[in-house]
Structure 1
Amino acid sequence: MTVPGYGDDLVLATRLADAADAITTARFRALDLRVERKPDRTPVTDADTAVEDAIRAALAAERPEDAVLGEERGGSAATGRAWVLDPIDGTKNFLRGVPVWATLIALVVDGDPVVGMISAPLLGRRWWAATGSGAFSSDSAGTRQLSVSGVSSLSDAYVSTTDVNSWREYHSREKYLELLDVCWESRAFGDFWQHVLVAEGAMDVAAECIVNPWDVAAAQVIVTEAGGRFSDLDGAGRYDNGSALSTNGLLHDDVLGILKR
């Protein structure tokens, strides 16, 4: 795998994803899986912490000068080079035996995601991108370059969002329903999957009203390198502003016109 600029970092992200997959697949549906509840009432399993600890140990050995921000162990990605980690995105699925979950790994440089790696081993899928080098995915059929859809009207758009109760609490239930009403079809794939589906061209819009930086840092570079557009719900091209909108680019302003408050 040769990628100019961030090629070595992407190769490292691939090895980190391999290590994560070995841990998560071994613990998936394990009868002795340990589950705790964090202060925000979200679940964390022993697999989450084991993956993050393993990735942090590898980064300490191979990129000792880089900062790390992870869901389970904290940290900062404010300046310079920082790796942003979500050891298991979709922990609720993981602990319930639903195979839709992934490890998310991003390299952020001075606040901008430049490398993204998303690995979903039970789906047999992986997605990755580096700034200026395109976005790609692999599955049992091989590797292909990603490109967003060419849908240009919301009336023809396939949209994925998250739970309506989250929109009621963190943004606007009315605007959520307005978006769904004007689109052709809606689903709630949630988490990482809806954003990579936008990058693949399978979905046209993915919107989340509440996210953490580690939820979408990798998705941002994958979506944009596939030709799409990523922002928060106010239109700022940031992964760390608390919300997320991925589109094919053609529909972005129309969606923002509905969701902006």
Structure 2
Amino acid sequence: MNDLDLATELADLADSISYRHFVAQDFTVETKPDLTPVTECDRAVEAAIVDRLKRERPDDSVLGEEFGSHGTSPRRWIIDPIDGTKNYVRGVPIWATLISLYDGQTPLLGVVSAPALGRRWWAEAGHGAFTSALGEPARQIHVSAVDSLEDASMSYASLSGWKQLGVLDEFLDLCDSLWRTRGYGDFYSYMLLAEGAVDLACEPELELYDMGALVPIVLEAGGTFTNTAGIDGPFGGNALASNSRLHESALDRLGRVAPATVRTDAQA
């Protein structure tokens, strides 16, 4: 079985666990030390994926949000079992399992599966980015051709993080320069970007597992994914993604500010 087929099966496995509990709302919620919520479903999904990877790819390493790192191979699977847990616990359908595979810092593939939305997105390096309604034929996706900020639409997560980063005024200035802003949030901002529905997406503080699966999909759709200082990829502590045409202008508006904490490959 090739890597993308395996990632697809891992997404199916995750959906079979997370979706039925989301519909039933029959889970408990705890607060982690960083004050973010976690459910038994987060842990069950990650445990099931890790167990399958141990059987199918025993030589690969794994990084997951809930159980940390396993193994030392540069070929590493990066897992966020439920991205958007706050939505999940409140019955909001915008949440997904994020699965990616990297060789060192090079993205090989990404899969984002959002069963409550009935959607999935995926990409493999050099083969384009795709989406489908679950069970329906796939269609290739591309970023937009919008080339000026005043014509652009941006999706973001919240305002508070930009204040903590020290660039709230710059962020609001960027918002004021745009045609439209909406807070779709989490993975969904970046999938809308990859589909060409929005032109910019950004968040001021993220972990590697929040971004790993997003990067190959955005890149294969023709976009650019950096942190707010312009460093490529998911290792820079936060994210600014675009249709490529608007990237430099957006970085300039934000002041090309470095995040407070940069997570390198060695730290992750």
Question: Normalised by the shorter chain, which TM-score bucket?
Answer: over 0.9
SS at match of 1:119: strand
Q: Does 1:13 align with 2:7?
A: yes
Matches for 1:68-79 after TM superposition, within 5 Å = 68-75=62-69
How far is 1:32 from its partner? 3.1
Output the TM-score relative to the length of structure 2: 0.92
Structure 2 counterpart of 1:97, from 85, 91, 96: 91
Instruction: State the 1:238 CA deviation.
Output: 2.2
Count of residue correspondences = 255
What letter matches 1:210 in structure 2? E
Confirm or deny that 1:30 pairs with 2:29.
no
Displacement of 1:161 after TM fit? Answer: 1.3
Given the alignment, which residue of 40, 44, 47 partners 2:41? 47
CA distance in 1: counterparts of 2:85 and 2:70, whole angstroms: 22
Q: Which moved more, 1:93-102 or 1:71-80?
A: 71-80
3-state SS of paired residue (1:220): helix
The letter for the 2-side match of 1:135 is: A
Q: What are the equivalent positions in structure 2 for 1:11-160 lying under 5 Å apart?
A: 11-75=5-69, 80-139=74-133, 142-160=137-155
Return the alpha-carbon distance in structure 1 between the equivalents of residues 207 and 170 of structure 2: 21
Q: Which runs of 4+ in 1 moved over 2 A?
A: 29-32, 76-79
State the alpha-carbon separation in 2 of the partners of residues 98 and 226 from structure 1.
Answer: 27
Instruction: Name the CA distance, whole Å, in 2 between partners of 1:249 and 1:152.
Output: 9
Provide TM-score, normalisation by structure 1: 0.95
Equivalent residues of 2:109, 2:125 under 8 A apart: yes
How far apart, in 1, do the equivalents of 2:166 and 2:127 lie? 35
CA distance 1:172–1:98, shift in 2 (3 Å) = same
How far is the alpha carbon of 1:29 from its aligned partner? 4.1
Letter paired with 1:221: P
Matched-pair contact (CA < 8 Å) for 1:76–1:82:
no
Secondary structure, aligned partner of 2:26: coil
Deviations 1:121-169 (A, max 9, x none): 0101000000000000001663100110000000000001121111111
CA shift for structure 1 position 177: 0.1
C-alpha distance in 2, partners of 1:218/1:77? 19
Tell me which residue corresponds to 1:216: 211
**What SS class does the counterpart of residue 24 from structure 2 fall into?**
coil
Q: Gapped runs of 5+ residues in structure 1?
A: 1-6
Percent identity between the two aligned chains: 48
2: CA distance between counterparts of 1:229 and 1:174?
24
